[in-house]
Amino acid sequence: MAGIFGEKPAKGFFAECWDDPALQIVIKKLLAKYPQWGVVIVSGVLVENNSLRQAQR
């Protein structure tokens, strides 16, 4: 739903869904489409990218 509206969901929402392999694919695609959300995947772990947020200010 967040992808449709372009709203930034909380990292916790993604973390709750991360155990499902099918949802991991969807989450990866959403994060690639919306880098401004500031959430990245590093070595299979969801990480908030605070440096991106600071650069936008």
Q: Do the beta carbons of residue 33 and residue 8 sit within 8 Å? A: no
| 2-54 tens-digit pLDDT | 555 556 677 788 888 889 999 999 999 988 998 888 888 888 888 887 755 45
Q: What is the pLDDT of residue 8?
A: 65
Q: What is the pLDDT of residue 20?
A: 93
- The residues pairing with 45 across neighbouring beta strands, listed in sequence order, are 42
Question: Which amino acid type is present at position 47?
Answer: V
Q: What is the pLDDT of residue 17?
A: 87
